[in-house]
Structure 1
Amino acid sequence: MGLRSRLWTGITLARDSVTLLRDHPSLLWFPVFAGAGGVAFFLLAFGTGLGLVPLAVLANAPEAAMYAALAIGYFGASFVAVLFTAGLMFATREVMEGREPSVRGGVSAAWEHKGTLFAWAVLSTVVGLVVRALQESDNLATVVVGALLSVSWAVVTYFVVPVVVFEDETIRGVFGRSTDIVRDTWGESLGAEFGLGFVHGVLFLGVVAVAALAFLVSGSFAVAAAVGLPLVVVAFVVASTLNGIAKVALYEYATTGEPPHYFENVDFDVGDTDAASQSGLQDRFRGGI
């Protein structure tokens, strides 16, 4: 399958993800709770840290308490986000297998892998902080290194969460397993990102257009912001949900060889075009790799 065909596959994948979400809008609750829960946890942890400042002053180490509170809040918020992302992926597969999804069921399934998900949340947060520090450097070479690290990390970890949830892989094994699936679905993954990027662009352009119209009618930036900001949140929630759905669809085909429900019309082509390559991938999956 050529690059053009793979990109078209990604666009079809994005379209079918929209169809699945349209039929099961309850999936939108996962990113909503992820965002709200993460913010709440961060504020709670940071507020607790601020309450400990007087004790830290007595120990002549106020900054230590502040940094500890920030770290707990930041890592905890990341874990909440990862937990609900994993729940979304479990619920999405429930839909693909003909069952009705639920937030409680998805989060409960994700919670069974809480140790690995927490380790992943901490590791991904640390790498994210390192990448941000490199990209904000005044040194061009450092910025380039940061950009390369960001891209490489995104590729290697593309399927980490579904691997944790569906294969019960340890934190040591998730990266190799994720890399294997990315290697066999590189075209479809790239195409999915392109197709979803197009959908996301339409969503956010729509938000800008509505906010601009509100400004033209009212002549007030405050009114435009009041209209636009809630729509930005809605667009972000929809975009996050579609990303999770498409990733599960790719994962399901890569590990079973069969298009999942809602994606039967997608012309998947995992890895090489010959059947032996696909069979090899499935054998590795069944053997636990």
Structure 2
Amino acid sequence: MNVFARLKVGFGMARRSGHVLRASPKLLVFPLVGGLSGVAFLLTLFGGLIVGGSLLEEPGAALYGGLFIAYLVETFIASFFTAALIAATRDIFDGRQLSIRRSLSTAWDRKGPLLVWSIVAAIVGVVLRAIEGQDNIVAKIAAVVFAAAWSVMTYFVVPVIVFREPSVREMFEQSAATFKRTWGESIGAMGAINAVTFLLAVVGVAFAGGVFVVTAGLESIQLAATVTIGGAAILIGVLIGKALTGIAKTALYVYATEQAAPEYFGDIDFARLGADRAGSAHSIEPQGSSPENGRI
């Protein structure tokens, strides 16, 4: 499958993910709660840096220790609710009724591997922060390159944790192997979802701007209404983007590991997805029959 065909599949997956979300809007609960953890992370990180501003000049053990705790706690919470979203999505694919409680229970059952993943991610985050803080352009470039590679290698870590019982080494190996088999589709889906998220935010901000103009002269409500509408639009866009990402990622992982097109994705041509994986040390034996070829 050539690059453009794989990207086309990715865009098609983003569109089908939207169909899943429209059918099961309760999926937004998971990124909403996970998003709150992201806000807490920002408040913890930047609030701590502002209060201890002098530490920025000479970072020490206290600063990096605080960063490690912040990364660890927030990564675990975010990963936990992502795992619940993935579990809920898989239930939908399998024809089961979505249950928030059951999905949270599944995520809780994976708390051990999720904690291990969070510890590793926190260590990497602190190391990257330390490298980025160096007054050295080579170090900064190296940090950017490593961060990009790290994002690719860990893209499917949470699905691996949810659907398998991996060792620490296996969770990274299986994640990297899955991304290698689905890189074009993953990039296409991410690009389409990011575009949708951006457009939703732009439309919301534009509407907020219109409210600002219409309420000119009403100073008591002008600023509050504009900020509320603009902020709500951005929040909704981010929530939808995170939900779509989780759905598309789950669909890609299910097909890449089982060669069975999930519900809502049966008309996408997955036939050659990962066709070059034969003999791969990381390949996973399919657990279902290949779907018939379809069209995006």
> What is the distance in 1 between the residues matched to 2:63 and 2:276?
55
Correspondence for 2:283: 281
TM-score relative to the length of structure 2: 0.80
> What is the distance in 1 between the residues matched to 2:212 and 2:120?
42
Please say which of residues 178-187 and 28-37 is displaced more in the overlay: 28-37
- Does residue 209 (structure 1) correspond to residue 206 (structure 2)? The answer is yes
User: Which string of whole-angstrom CA distances, capped at 9 and with x for unpartnered residues, describes residues 96-143 of structure 1?
Assistant: 000011221111001111111011122223323433444465432222
Correspondence for 2:77: 80
Correspondence for 1:159: 156
TM-superposed deviation, 1:189: 1.3
> What is the distance in 1 between the residues matched to 2:63 and 2:131?
24
User: Structure 2, unaligned stretches of length 5 or more?
Assistant: 45-59, 217-221, 289-296
> What is the distance in 2 between the residues matched to 1:34 and 1:103?
14
Aligned equivalent of 2:231, options 224, 229, 232: 229
> What is the distance in 2 between the residues matched to 1:157 and 1:193?
15
TM-superposed deviation, 1:200: 1.7
- Does residue 245 (structure 1) correspond to residue 242 (structure 2)? The answer is no
Is the Cα contact below 8 Å between 1:42 and 1:77 reproduced in 2?
no
TM-superposed deviation, 1:73: 4.9
Please say which of residues 185-194 and 107-116 is displaced more in the overlay: 185-194
Is the Cα contact below 8 Å between 2:259 and 2:286 reproduced in 1?
no
Q: Could you tell me which amino acid in structure 1 is paired with residue 256 of structure 2?
A: A
Aligned length: 267
- Secondary structure of the equivalent of 1:203? helix
Say if 1:70 and 1:189 are closer, same or farther in 2 by CA, change over 3 A.
closer
Please say which of residues 165-174 and 70-79 is displaced more in the overlay: 70-79
Correspondence for 2:275: 272
Is the Cα contact below 8 Å between 1:257 and 1:282 reproduced in 2?
no
After superposition, residues 1-289 of structure 1 pair within 5 angstroms as: 1-36=1-36, 71-135=68-132, 137-219=134-216, 220-268=222-270, 269-272=272-275, 281-283=283-285
Please say which of residues 263-272 and 173-182 is displaced more in the overlay: 263-272
TM-superposed deviation, 1:217: 1.7
> What is the distance in 2 between the residues matched to 1:159 and 1:85?
11
Say if 1:172 and 1:21 are closer, same or farther in 2 by CA, change over 3 A.
same
TM-superposed deviation, 1:237: 1.1
Q: Name the % identity.
A: 38
> What is the distance in 2 between the residues matched to 1:130 and 1:70?
10
TM-superposed deviation, 1:72: 4.0
Say if 1:3 and 1:64 are closer, same or farther in 2 by CA, change over 3 A.
closer
> What is the distance in 2 between the residues matched to 1:66 and 1:146?
19
Correspondence for 2:293: none
Please say which of residues 9-18 and 178-187 is displaced more in the overlay: 178-187
User: Which string of whole-angstrom CA distances, capped at 9 and with x for unpartnered residues, describes residues 1-21 of structure 1?
Assistant: 111111111110000000000
Say if 1:247 and 1:205 are closer, same or farther in 2 by CA, change over 3 A.
same
TM-superposed deviation, 1:188: 1.2
TM-score relative to the length of structure 1: 0.82
Is the Cα contact below 8 Å between 2:11 and 2:185 reproduced in 1?
no
Say if 1:6 and 1:66 are closer, same or farther in 2 by CA, change over 3 A.
closer
What's the Cα RMSD here? 3.0
Say if 1:284 and 1:143 are closer, same or farther in 2 by CA, change over 3 A.
farther
